[in-house]
């Protein structure tokens, strides 16, 4: 069982011992630390915090603990109930709130939950802000409100609909053209809040929806990470219903993947590529993705006359790079779309609306044909479990030294760009593993490159055993 503390929040498995897992004591401690920080950063005795959660089994328990802790700190809470990460992000500025917390462990299995922390802009905290909360939690020196200064809770239960309204008002979303196209889709909501939000958005756009696992019970029917090996039922349903394509999201609806009409992956890396292709066809500008994302976004950006930049992995890093380069769209290759015209956060609902707009704008014969129109790269995503005492940073330094004559990027682990392929090695921020991403011009070559570096990592690790 695991508890992971980072600048973006606290994530862990439910149950077990305090300090080792996400227990009620840990939830209260970190909610208290956030409450202390939000009061100081806002300069208010009673700041406003927006709170929402995905449909995890532990969600109601964690929400009750966090919400009442914030009330005890003197914070007013706007309770969105079952929600999505981008919905909470949008709600923070719309409600003139001072911050927000999303209770979700994103793509992690059901035994996990987390507190994701937002600032007054509805954006994830930067390193300095996050460190202040970690320090406050470590000191456990909290100053709670007196009885006359306790916070109050306001329930708003229609924010997903407000979020959809916001998406439909975006200038590049071709609402009427999409309605006329009469698409049919299958939606896998992994029995979380995507099962509420995605069908609702599609129906507002006149799309016929076949719902698969859209009951928000929190009992995930398969591993909730939207990867090929987890989506067999969706592949079959798309073909069975002769749908135009399939849609799947992770439990908190900030990652998005499409399935072609043939029941194949469109490619989670190509979610961002397709949406960027559409936006760049309407507006000149730049793009950003993280170091572990496909070169295809760079190629599409150059095709449209823009400039592409890579950021360190992590939404906050991508957002900062987007601001620095005035990027008009960006995100992460795991299916995360960040569209500043909407807000600076990954948003599957925005991605769906842009993708549908692309389909009607290009009059594509099929989703598979659209996919075939993009540069063809193949990725391999692997991981190596960390062992106690392994000097991971030193191992990565040794790798960088070995390949110092190649094009290296070391702002986040080690990325080595070869002529026709690349490898990115980094410690995960959310799990005790080293992630190994490779990309090449064939799946076989990408897999071979990954195998090669797994062996190299293991050989170097043995030197430190």
| Catalytic positions | 106
- Given a contact cutoff of 8 angstroms between Cβ atoms, the answer to whether 94 and 213 are in contact is no
Measured CA to CA, the distance from residue 457 to residue 445 in angstroms comes to: 18
């Amino acid at each position: 069982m695991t508890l992971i503390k980072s600048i973006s929040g606290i994530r862990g498995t439910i149950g077990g011992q305090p300090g080792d897992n996400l227990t009620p004591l840990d939830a209260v401690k970190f909610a208290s630390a956030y409450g202390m920080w939000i009061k100081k950063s806002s300069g208010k005795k009673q700041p406003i915090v927006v709170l929402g959660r995905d449909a995890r089994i532990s969600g109601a328990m964690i929400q009750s603990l966090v919400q009442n802790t914030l009330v005890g700190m003197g914070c007013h809470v706007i309770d969105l109930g079952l929600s999505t990460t981008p919905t909470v992000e949008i709600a923070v500025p719309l409600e003139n709130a001072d911050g927000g917390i999303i209770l979700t462990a994103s793509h992690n299995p059901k035994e996990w939950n987390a507190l994701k922390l937002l600032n007054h802009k509805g954006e994830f905290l930067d390193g300095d802000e996050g460190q202040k909360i970690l320090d406050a939690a470590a000191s456990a020196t909290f100053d709670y409100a007196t009885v006359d200064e306790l916070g109050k809770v306001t329930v708003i239960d229609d924010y997903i609909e407000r979020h959809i309204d916001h998406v439909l008002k975006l200038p590049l979303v071709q609402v009427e053209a999409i309605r006329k196209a009469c698409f049919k889709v299958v939606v896998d909501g992994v029995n979380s809040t995507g099962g509420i939000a995605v069908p609702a958005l599609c129906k507002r756009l006149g799309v016929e929806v076949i719902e698969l696992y859209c009951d928000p019970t929190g009992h995930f029917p398969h591993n909730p990470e939207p990867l090929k090996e987890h989506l067999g039922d969706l592949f079959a349903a798309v073909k069975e219903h002769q749908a135009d394509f399939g849609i799947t999201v992770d439990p908190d609806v900030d990652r998005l993947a499409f399935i072609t009409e043939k029941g194949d992956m469109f490619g989670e890396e190509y979610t961002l590529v397709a949406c960027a292709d559409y936006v760049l066809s309407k507006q000149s500008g730049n793009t950003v993705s993280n170091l572990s994302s496909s070169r295809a976004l760079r190629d599409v950006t150059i095709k449209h006359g823009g400039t592409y930049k890579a950021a360190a992995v992590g939404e906050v890093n991508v957002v900062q790079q987007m601001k620095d380069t005035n990027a008009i769209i960006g995100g992460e290759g795991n299916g995360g779309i960040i569209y500043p015209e909407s807000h600076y956060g990954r948003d599957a609902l925005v991605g769906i609306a842009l993708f549908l707009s692309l389909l009607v704008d290009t009059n594509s014969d099929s989703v598979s044909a659209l996919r075939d129109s993009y540069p063809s790269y193949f990725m391999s995503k692997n991981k190596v479990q960390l062992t106690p005492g392994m000097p991971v940073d030193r191992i990565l330094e040794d790798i960088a030294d070995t390949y110092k004559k190649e094009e290296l990027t070391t702002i986040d682990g080690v990325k080595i760009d070869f002529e026709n392929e690349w490898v990115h090695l980094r410690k995960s921020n959310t799990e005790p593993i080293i992630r190994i991403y490779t990309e090449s011009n064939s799946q076989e070559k990408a897999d071979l490159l990954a195998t090669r570096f797994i062996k190299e990592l293991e050989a170097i690790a043995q030197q430190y055993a």
